[in-house]
């Protein structure tokens, strides 16, 4: 399939498919016959190539030529004969000529359009030889010319790495004498992929030396695929360091580097060094120095720089800086100043640099409210909501020429598609149309995450970025049908393309995948299979302990709301899935033998994970409904056993899709952790029935993707020259051996109260005892603004201790200590991601209750008598990423 090309066709009826090249009724390239028709050029495995030495000396072009050699070998079974710089007098047959316009001009005139990334693939003459020439106006244009030859002449699928669609073996290929593919100006200037939360890549292809999350061999395949699809930019990992090896690979491939919102000026904010202050209020010099060093180490690369200011670990900066302003006006001013400083740093290195303001979350909110000023000459990057709906004003009034966008076809935590297709092309055709109309086409970065599960939509949106005109020439729905029909013709067969398109459209109409669910509650619509797994896990995590104890669930605060949320997405699914599954299995029998495996991965598994997961959740919900009536734990355990059987059916279909290089793919799905769901079901049943069980988590990292990513950051120390933790004043401290002066927070005196005394905190951070203050809307942390939502009625008005989030890593064994003046119950709220319960909490009771304050905090409790001392310790080693909160309730 061609992208953004003009083709001079044979005088015949044309069939136009938006997003692809217009095709003649008689093809320009005939790979079906070994006979050469009159007026056609025949090539075979012995047809020699001409490659210019100066082009081959260019690493990026050389890589594309090597890829083309492999393609040639796959098709013909012979490595190509390659002439250097010229044809040979001993050969008067056809030749294939690859190169740049500048270096091939001495041999032939290519008439390549002028401009960046332009190319032409056509038939003609190279001296006395009939030829096919693939020529580019510049380096990237030459790369595109080479890959276009591979696609159009050899029949190589640009996405073959992720679709397993290998080209057919041929003895000879006939090309029409007037075959001519000429590029146009791309719709979007920068067209990139963001390999976000790279669990599949990291799991199957981890860098064995730890210098990057993903191995360079696999990353090279990703870059090759990006270039074959006419992309030119990548954010290669979620949190690479500024001098990571992956950036050298991008440079070699001539792929522009960019970053997401947590890496301003390329600086890895996911791993801010311990002991070095983080503040653009009190310690600007540290951040400015770090940004400057990051910019310098990347100065020899092609970069589309991102600017912005967020805090550590992808949060708002005021959650990491106690000195931050308390109102939105002041916070927006800090972000604006940081952006201006970052822009000046970048401009000193490259006055003409492309700079992108990442308007993500609070930065986008402040901009939309008129509080945030973006530096002059900087591209504004608007983002979608993770479901494929842009968060601009919607009418194009806030878009300007030169703006850009960030869009998801995969990802979004807890609710979206982790292992399936989820975003219909019609959605992004519709949402991005106004960007094209407003010429807001400077920059587009697409969150493609694992790529493989959503290979079709990844290719479709990349095609759109290269040439939006075909897709916008019709309604979004018509263009989507045309695109799907063409894609399935290439992936499976022309005869089945229409039926497979109907099947995919039927899939997109799964009730909770629709734009609007039948029930408009918490989830609205446009959700994925992750939501169903997530809701199953949440119901079991929060309430299985209470069921084991025979408690009344309706008396637990928040249960009714959580239960209603678990029921919402199941509306209309019971009757919807059977015909969808029947059609999927019916077409499965008709798929060509060599494409059945991919059909399993692309269709059968994807329908199965939705259908069986919904049945699983429905069974769990019904078990809860029955328990509410009868309050019988044993019956509950028996009632959820069929849910485990439905989940096993998902795993059966997943294993069928694990073949070849994908042989352990689903093992590495950790964010939507089906294995966690399975272990929760098994442990819940076992606990109630008094049977042995293993654990609720799997693996050494307890199934945690972020644990694995953190592992990379910890073990990468010493791999790189100085980044990251040794930047700024942190580096000066290491060199001088003198401790870094820190601002020690003086603890405020504990206000008089009649419940606790002798209060001590082993910390330099601020704590605050709030007598009778625990109620809905209370702020739980001294250095974060998160407020608690609904709370258990019995704790309303209790005394609580406001703790600092930064003490989540405090190793002290007596972090908080106090003496009870009255008999009391102490509650500790612990984020619901604990992998190993701290020793000091081992004898505390898990209540089954929870509160929410950005994080979900599970409540543990223990009774204390008057005059007894309470000592609360560290979270280090527990796997919990948020500091606990403490509530004291008088008995």
CB 858 within 8 A of CB 825: no
pLDDT category, 449, cuts 50, 70, 90? very high
Q: For residue 371, what pLDDT is reported?
A: 96
The per-residue pLDDT for 156 is: 98
Minimum mean pLDDT range among 223-227, 557-561, 779-783: 779-783
Question: Is 50 exceeded by the pLDDT of residue 34?
Answer: no
717 Rama class: left (phi>0) / alpha (psi -120 to 50) / beta = beta
Q: What residue ranges in 110-204 does DSSP mark as E strands?
A: 119-126, 129-136, 172-176, 180-183, 190-194
Helices 573-588 and 497-508: angle between axes, nearest 10 degrees: 160
Could you give the angle at the alpha carbon of 59 between the alpha carbons of 55 and 64, nearest 5°? Answer: 75
Band of pLDDT at residue 740, cut at 50, 70 and 90? very low
| pLDDT tens figures, 69-118 | 999 999 999 999 999 999 999 999 999 999 999 999 999 999 999 999 99
Identify whether the C-beta of residue 231 lies closer than 8 Å to the C-beta of residue 193.
Answer: yes
pLDDT digits (tens, 9 = 90+) for 246-295: 999 999 999 999 998 889 999 888 777 767 788 999 989 888 988 988 89
CA atoms of 132 and 96, how far apart (whole Å): 5
* CA gap 781, 798 in Å, rounded: 16
Question: pLDDT tens for residues 750-766?
Answer: 667 889 998 999 888 88
pLDDT of residue 786: 81
Judge whether residue 14 has pLDDT over 70. no
**182 within 8 A of 6, measured Cβ to Cβ:** yes
Residue 183: CA atoms inside 13 Å, Cβ hemisphere, count? 32
Rounded Cα distance, 802 and 766, in Å: 9
Distance CA 467, CA 485 (A): 18
Global pTM reads 0.82
100 phi/psi in degrees, rounded to 5: -85, 160
Instruction: Find out whether 820 and 827 touch, Cβ atoms under 8 Å.
Output: no
> Which domains are delineated in the chain?
5-183 (3.30.379.10), 190-478 (3.20.20.520), 529-673 (no CATH), 756-890 (no CATH)
Residue 857's φ and ψ, nearest 5 degrees, are: -110, 120
Q: Beta strands 180-183 and 119-126: pairing type? A: antiparallel
Which one, of 384, 424, 439, 425, lies nearest residue 407 by Cα? 384
- Could you report the per-residue pLDDT of 811-870, keeping only the tens digit for each? 888 999 999 999 999 999 998 888 789 999 999 999 999 998 877 899 999 999 999 999
Interior angle at CA 786, CA 781 and CA 789, nearest 5:
110
CB neighbours of 764 closer than 8 A, spacing ≥ 6?
Answer: 742, 744, 745
Q: Can you give the pLDDT at residue 344?
A: 97
The values of phi and psi at residue 303, to 5°, are -135, 135
The pLDDT-based confidence of 140 (bands split at 50, 70, 90) is very high
Beta bridge pairs of residue 41: 175
Q: Give CA–CA dist 34/787, Å, rounded.
A: 72
CB atoms within 10 A of CB 711: 16
> Are the C-beta atoms of 417 and 453 separated by less than 8 Å?
yes
Residue of 569 and 729 predicted with greater confidence: 569
Q: How far apart are the first and last CA of the chain?
A: 73
Decide: 813 and 873 in contact? Cβ < 8 Å.
yes
Give start and end residues of each alpha helix (H) in 716-825: 728-736
Check: CB of residue 21 under 8 Å from CB of residue 472.
no
3-state secondary structure of 408: strand
CA distances in angstroms from 351 to 175, 279, 343, listed in the order given: 47, 27, 10
Lookup: tokens for 129: 């030889």
In order of 139, 464, 657, the CA distances from 467 in angstroms are: 20, 5, 32
| Residues 129 and 94 sit within 8 Å (Cβ to Cβ) | yes
In percent, the amount of the chain with pLDDT more than 70 equals: 90
**450-459, 587-596, 622-631, 725-734: the lowest-pLDDT one:** 725-734
Model pLDDT, residue 309: 96
Measured CA to CA, the distance from residue 836 to residue 187 in angstroms comes to 51
Residues 789, 853 contacting (CB under 8 angstroms):
yes
Q: What is the mean pLDDT of the segment spanning 307-311?
A: 94
């Amino acid at each position: 399939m061609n992208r953004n090309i003009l083709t001079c066709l044979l005088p015949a009826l044309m069939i136009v498919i938006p997003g692809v090249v217009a095709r003649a009724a008689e093809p320009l390239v005939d790979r079906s016959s070994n006979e050469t028709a009159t007026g056609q050029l025949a090539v075979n495995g012995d047809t020699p190539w001409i490659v210019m030495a100066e082009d081959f000396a260019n690493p990026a072009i050389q890589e594309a030529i090597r890829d083309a050699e492999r393609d040639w070998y796959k098709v013909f079974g012979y490595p190509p004969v390659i002439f250097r710089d010229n044809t040979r007098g001993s050969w008067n047959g056809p030749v294939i000529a690859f190169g740049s316009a500048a270096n091939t001009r001495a041999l032939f005139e290519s008439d390549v359009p002028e401009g960046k990334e332009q190319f032409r693939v056509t038939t003609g003459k190279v001296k006395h030889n009939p030829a096919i020439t693939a020529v580019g106006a510049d380096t990237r244009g030459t790369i595109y010319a080479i890959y276009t030859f591979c696609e159009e002449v050899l029949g190589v699928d640009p996405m073959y790495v992720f679709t397993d669609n290998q080209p057919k073996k041929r003895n000879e290929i006939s090309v029409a004498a007037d075959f001519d593919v000429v590029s146009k100006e791309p719709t979007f200037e920068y067209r990139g992929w963001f390999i976000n939360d790279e669990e599949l890549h990291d799991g199957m292809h981890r860098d064995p030396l730890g210098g990057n999350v993903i191995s360079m061999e696999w990353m090279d395949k990703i870059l090759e695929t990006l270039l074959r699809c006419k992309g030119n930019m990548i954010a290669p990992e979620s949190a690479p360091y500024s001098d990571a090896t992956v950036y050298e690979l991008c440079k070699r491939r001539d792929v522009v580097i960019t970053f997401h919102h947590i890496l301003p000026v390329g600086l890895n904010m996911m791993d801010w060094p311990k002991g070095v202050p983080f503040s653009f209020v009190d310690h600007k010099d540290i951040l400015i120095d770090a940004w400057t060093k990051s910019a310098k180490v990347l100065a020899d690369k092609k970069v589309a720089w991102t600017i912005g200011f967020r805090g550590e670990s992808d949060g708002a900066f005021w959650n990491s800086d106690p000195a931050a302003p308390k109102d939105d006006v002041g916070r927006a001013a800090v972000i604006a100043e940081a952006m201006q400083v970052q822009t000046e740093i970048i401009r000193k290195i490259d006055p003409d640099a492309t700079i992108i303001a990442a308007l993500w979350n609070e930065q986008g909110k402040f901009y939309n409210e008129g509080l945030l000023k973006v530096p002059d000459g900087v591209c504004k990057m608007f983002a979608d909501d993770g479901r494929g709906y842009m968060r601009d004003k919607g009418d194009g009034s806030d878009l300007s020429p030169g703006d850009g966008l960030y869009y998801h076809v995969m990802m979004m935590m807890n609710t979206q598609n982790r292992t399936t297709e989820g975003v219909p092309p019609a959605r992004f055709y519709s949402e991005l149309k106004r960007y094209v109309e407003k010429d807001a086409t400077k920059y587009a970065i697409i969150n493609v995450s694992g790529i493989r599960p959503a290979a079709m939509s990844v290719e479709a949106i990349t095609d759109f970025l290269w040439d939006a005109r075909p897709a916008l020439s019709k309604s979004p729905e018509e263009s989507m049908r045309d695109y799907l029909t063409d894609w399935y013709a290439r992936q499976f067969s022309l005869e089945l393309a229409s039926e497979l398109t109907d099947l995919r459209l039927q899939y997109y109409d799964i009730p909770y995948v629709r734009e609007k669910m039948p029930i408009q509650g918490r989830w609205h619509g446009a959700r994925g299979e992750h939501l169903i797994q997530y809701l199953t896990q949440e119901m079991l995590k929060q309430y299985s302990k209470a069921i084991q104890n025979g408690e009344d669930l309706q008396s637990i605060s928040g249960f009714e709301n959580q239960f209603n949320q678990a029921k919402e997405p199941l509306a209309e699914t019971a009757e919807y899935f059977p015909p969808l599954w029947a059609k999927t299995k019916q077409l499965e029998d008709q798929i060509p033998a060599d494409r059945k495996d991919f059909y399993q991965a692309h269709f059968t598994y994807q329908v199965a994970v939705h259908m069986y997961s919904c049945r699983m959740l429905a069974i769990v919900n019904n078990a809860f409904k029955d328990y509410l009536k009868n309050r019988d734990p044993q019956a509950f355990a028996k009632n959820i056993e069929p849910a485990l059987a439905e989940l096993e059916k998902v795993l059966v279909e997943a294993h069928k899709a694990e073949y070849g290089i994908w042989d352990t793919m689903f093992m590495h799905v950790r964010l939507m952790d089906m294995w966690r769901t399975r272990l929760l079901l098994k442990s819940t049943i076992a606990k109630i029935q008094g049977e042995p069980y293993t654990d609720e988590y799997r693996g050494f990292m307890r199934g945690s993707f972020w644990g694995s990513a953190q592992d990379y950051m910890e073990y990468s120390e010493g791999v790189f020259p100085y980044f990251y933790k040794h930047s700024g004043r942190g580096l000066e401290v290491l060199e001088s051996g003198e401790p870094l002066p820190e601002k020690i927070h003086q603890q405020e005196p504990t206000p008089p109260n009649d419940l606790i005394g002798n209060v001590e905190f082993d910390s330099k951070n601020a704590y605050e005892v709030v007598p009778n203050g625990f109620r809905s809307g209370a702020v739980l942390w001294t250095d974060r603004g998160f407020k608690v939502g609904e709370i258990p009625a019995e704790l309303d008005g209790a005394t609580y201790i406001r703790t600092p989030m930064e003490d989540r890593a405090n190793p002290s064994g007596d972090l908080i200590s106090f003496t009870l003046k009255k008999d009391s119950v102490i509650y500790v709220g612990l984020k619901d991601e604990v992998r190993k319960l701290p020793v000091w909490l081992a004898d505390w009771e898990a209540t089954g209750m929870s509160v929410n304050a950005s994080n979900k905090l599970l409540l543990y409790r223990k009774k204390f008598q008057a005059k007894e001392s309470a000592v609360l310790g560290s979270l280090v080693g527990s796997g919990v990423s948020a500091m606990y909160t403490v509530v004291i309730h008088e008995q």
